[in-house]
Structures are given as C-alpha cells and as structure tokens.
C-alpha cells in the first residue's frame, strides 16, 4: 500500500515526468511500459535475503538457489569474464544439466551479457539483434562447458553492445519465473564490495517482461508463457542459502511481504549528449530510473544516503546541491580511483574532481550573503563524504566499492545496476528497483554501517 504522502510527493510527480518525456522515450528500447507505467512499473515484492560481500562470495552463497531451478534460469549481466565467479556458474550449469538428464526434461538457460573485453566490443555487431554464440564456440570464446557437458540444457548465449558507449549494464537472475535476484556485481574477477537482494512476488513478472522485450530471441518472445509465475505461493525461505563463515561481509534473512516496489528500467541511448565546457549540461534521458532518482531527492524530508562506485553525472550533482540547500542531510560513499580511464572517456572528468567541486560549491552554500541571512534562508543540510578503502589486512578483502544504493528518509531504498556517473545516466542500459519499506531501509542501512566499518576514508 502506497502512503498518501509518497503518492503525492513522489509517485504522481514521477509519473508526470514519464508522461512529459514520452516522445523522447518512445524511440528507445525497451519501451513497453510507457503507455501504462503505473500498471507495469508499480508493483509489490517479497524480500527474502540481503547479501553483502565480493561478487564471488555473493554468487557462492546463491549457488543452492540457482541449483534448485527446475524449469528455467535467466542470467543477465554486463561483463562476462574468465574468473572464479564464471567457474561457479559453469558448475551450476553442469549440475542443472545432470538434473535435467536424470528426469528426461530439459531446463532452459538464457545467458545474456554486453561486454567481455575491448576487442569483443570493437568487433561486435551493431544491431539490437546482438550476437548469439553457437554451442561450438561456448568453450573457446566464453570458457563455458562444452556442449556435450550440457546436454540437459536448452541454452542460448547472447550479447548486445552498441558503439560508442551503449553498454547494456543490468545485472539480474530469474529462477523458474518465481524468484529474482538483483545484484550489483558482474560475472568477473574484481574483488569489489557488492550487494544483492533476493525477491519473489509480482515484481518477478516485471523482470521477465524486461528480459523478454529486449534480450529474448524472437522464439522466446513469441511462445506462450507456459511457466506462469505463481504469485500466490510463498517461497520457502529454507531454499535461500545461508552464507558460509567468512565468505560474506553480511547475510541477512528478510521476511518482508507485499512491499511496494517500483520497477525502474533505463533504456540505453546512442547519443552521449556531450556539451562544451562553457555550456550547460544536456538534459539526461527521461528514463524511469533517472527521473525516479531525481524525484526521490526532491521529495526527501530529512536525509539521503548514497553509495555509488562513481559520481560524475551533472544532473545528479546539481540535484544533490539543491537537496542540501533545502536543509536535507546527505551522506555519500564512493570510490576515489575506480575505472579512471572509463570516467575520462565517458564523462571528461573523474569522481575525485567532481567531489572536490561539490565540496567547494557546498562551502559556498555555508557562507550565505547578508541578504540571504536577512531573507531567512534555511541553513543547508550536513554533507558527509567518504571514499571506500580496503582494510589493511584480510583475505579476499574488497578493494573498491561497486555497490549502488540510495536510501531516502530511512523509508525508500533504490538498488540496481545504475551508477551515478555520466555513462549510466546518458548512454548505458540500466535496471533498478525502489522499495518503499522502512523495515528494509533500516536493515540495509544497519548492515552497510557494519560492513563499511574500517573501510571508509573520510573526506568531509
């Protein structure tokens, strides 16, 4: 149930933003939600578990859940690379194949990704049809098991990438169209700080629709939905794996039902919208994720917590200053030196430069003119900034923070793949979910505080 406050200050203005941006958004893909966003994007979910750790440790904790699949596994990730995480997936695929062979019924597997390296991007077909990898190439091109090891699977592997910067950045897993996992991590080798949440309920259909409308092959889109999502049946929490000692920074069992959830796709754009230094920044694409984030900050009444790998998006930085100016406290955790070359290419700047400028502009807010004082201008909110840094000791210690999270007023949580950098806001395809639940917001904030203890260098 959406509170009248959130409906008035957040959801209705956000829906109006989507309507106003309709003509710009209708030319993007996927755009299936535009004609009725209130019905296709506002839904509910059941939250089962929260995982914080490295990508490898999170995936390892989810293996029993993946192996429990009986009908279908859809895995969408941005980056696919030879790594411990990729080897874990290989083992899952073999086990699922053995299960399918034993019962003489195939299990469908769909693996979708965007990037596996620089050369792959440069040579990739420039079409939304993408590239489908023939089984004979699975082993040599992607280090997947050989086809003869996966005889029980009906498997399709597909990649989509469009030059110059349109990387498809979402990360999610759908199991039997009943459970969804929303992680921040890729299938890759980086020992970064990551997070994931396990969901069931009506929101799973939103993940299925997003995959089907953009990633699925035509035969998948055309077929009747034979594996319906049983929205009435709860998921047995014993199927959600417990973390192994020392493998995760945090594993929290959740038992939150019928949480108001807003599904937030963000279609890719080919035009990066670059401007000259003396010009104002171009408006960002009015995607559900972009507009919802801006409306969330505009609706904040007390405080905002932001954790993002990078912070180079001009509209985000402007929104943060406006929010501070209204007297709202903001706490930011980001990375000082993460993907520097990528930041320079896609944004023409770096997170550390943007943070320095943000601090300078904030200090200006703290020194109002005499006319401001006479007018009774509200004192700006408190700005706190920290850079993630690893502890000095520890095996498999996360080296950088790659988690994407916004918490507003301890009531609203936004998770997903979207960074607060220029690439995510202007060119990349992204996917997020917002949860209106103070219980979840409190749990997440508490677990983050414990996991980040001793891993933050204070800037301001």
Phi, psi of 77 (to 5 degrees): -145, 160
Judgement on whether residues 280 and 209 belong to the same structural domain of the protein: no
Whole-number pLDDT of residue 232: 42
The number of domains in the chain is: 2
Mean pLDDT of each 10-residue bin along the chain, 460 residues long:
83 97 96 96 97 95 95 97 96 98 97 94 94 96 97 97 95 97 96 96 97 92 56 50 62 94 97 84 96 98 98 97 97 94 91 96 83 65 97 81 98 98 97 98 97 94
- Residue 130: which of 99, 92, 156, 98 has the closest Cα? 156
Whole-number pLDDT of residue 309: 97
Judgement on whether residues 223 and 268 belong to the same structural domain of the protein: no
- Check if the beta carbon of residue 201 is closer than 8 Å to that of residue 231: yes
Judgement on whether residues 251 and 290 belong to the same structural domain of the protein: no
> If you ran DSSP here, which 8-state letter would residue 214 be given?
I
Judgement on whether residues 330 and 433 belong to the same structural domain of the protein: yes
What is the CATH classification number for the domain harbouring 366? 3.30.870.10
- Residue 108: which of 56, 72, 148 has the closest Cα? 72
Residue at which a domain ends, from 262, 278, 299: 262
pTM reported for the whole predicted model: 0.94
| In a domain? residue 40 | no
Strands 400-401 and 192-200: parallel
Judgement on whether residues 83 and 194 belong to the same structural domain of the protein: yes
Residue at which a domain ends, from 262, 294, 310: 262
- How far, in Å, CA of 239 to CA of 234, rounded? 11
| In a domain? residue 35 | no
Judgement on whether residues 348 and 276 belong to the same structural domain of the protein: yes
- Residue 16: which of 42, 38, 1, 31 has the closest Cα? 38
Task: With H, G, I as helix, E, B as strand and everything else as coil, classify residue 322.
Answer: helix
| In a domain? residue 256 | yes
| In a domain? residue 207 | yes
Judgement on whether residues 452 and 371 belong to the same structural domain of the protein: yes
| In a domain? residue 19 | no
Residue 331 sits in which domain range?
A: 264-458
Q: Assign residue 225 a region: left if phi > 0, alpha if psi is -120 to 50, beta otherwise?
A: beta
Judgement on whether residues 233 and 294 belong to the same structural domain of the protein: no
Judgement on whether residues 142 and 116 belong to the same structural domain of the protein: yes
Contacts with 51 (C-beta within 8 Å, 6 or more apart), sequence order: 58, 61, 62, 183, 195, 196, 197, 198, 243, 248, 250, 251, 252
Judgement on whether residues 218 and 312 belong to the same structural domain of the protein: no
- Check if the beta carbon of residue 88 is closer than 8 Å to that of residue 120: no
> If you ran DSSP here, which 8-state letter would residue 184 be given?
S
Judgement on whether residues 148 and 65 belong to the same structural domain of the protein: yes
Judgement on whether residues 144 and 273 belong to the same structural domain of the protein: no
């Amino acid at each position: 149930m959406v509170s009248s406050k959130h409906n008035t200050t957040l959801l209705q203005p956000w829906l109006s933003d989507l309507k106003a941006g309709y003509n710009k958004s209708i030319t993007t893909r996927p755009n299936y939600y535009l004609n009725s966003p209130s019905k296709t994007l506002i839904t509910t979910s059941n939250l089962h578990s929260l995982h914080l750790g490295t990508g490898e440790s999170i995936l390892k904790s989810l293996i029993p859940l993946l192996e429990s699949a009986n009908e279908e596994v859809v895995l969408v990730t941005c980056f696919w690379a030879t790594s411990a995480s990729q080897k874990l997936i290989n083992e899952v695929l073999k086990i699922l194949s053995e299960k399918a062979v034993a019962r003489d019924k195939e299990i469908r597997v769909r693996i979708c990704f965007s990037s596996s390296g620089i050369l792959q991007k440069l040579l990739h077909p420039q079409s939304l049809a993408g590239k489908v990898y023939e089984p004979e190439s699975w082993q040599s091109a992607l280090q997947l098991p050989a086809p003869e090891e996966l005889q029980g699977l009906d498997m399709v592997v597909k990649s989509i990438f469009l030059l110059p910067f349109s990387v498809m950045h979402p990360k999610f897993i759908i199991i039997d169209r009943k459970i969804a996992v929303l992680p921040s991590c890729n299938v890759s080798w980086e020992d970064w700080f990551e997070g994931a949440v396990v969901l069931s309920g009506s929101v799973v259909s939103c993940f299925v629709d997003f995959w089907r409308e953009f990633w699925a092959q035509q035969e998948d889109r055309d077929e009747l939905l034979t594996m319906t999502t049983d929205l009435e049946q709860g998921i047995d929490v014993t199927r959600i794996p417990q973390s192994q000692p020392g493998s995760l920074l945090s594993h929290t069992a959740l038992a939150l039902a019928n949480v108001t959830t807003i599904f937030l796709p963000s279609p890719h754009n080919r035009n990066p919208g670059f401007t000259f230094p003396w010009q104002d920044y171009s408006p960002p694409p009015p995607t559900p994720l972009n507009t919802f984030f801006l409306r969330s900050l505009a609706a904040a009444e007390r405080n905002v917590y932001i954790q993002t790998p990078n912070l180079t998006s001009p509209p985000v930085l402007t929104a943060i200053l406006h929010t501070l100016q209204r007297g709202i406290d903001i706490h930011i955790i980001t990375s000082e030196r993460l993907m520097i070359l990528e930041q320079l290419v896609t944004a023409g700047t770096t997170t550390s430069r943007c943070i320095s400028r943000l601090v300078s502009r904030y200090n200006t807010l703290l020194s109002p003119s005499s006319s401001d004082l006479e007018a009774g201008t509200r004192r700006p909110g408190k700005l706190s900034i920290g850079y993630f840094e690893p502890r000095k000791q520890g095996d498999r210690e996360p080296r950088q923070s790659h988690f994407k999270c916004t918490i507003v007023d301890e009531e609203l949580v936004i998770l997903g793949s979207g960074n607060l950098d220029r690439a995510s806001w202007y060119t990349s395809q992204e996917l997020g979910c917002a949860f209106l639940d103070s219980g979840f917001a409190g749990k997440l904030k508490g677990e983050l505080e414990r996991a980040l203890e001793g891993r933050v260098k204070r800037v301001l």
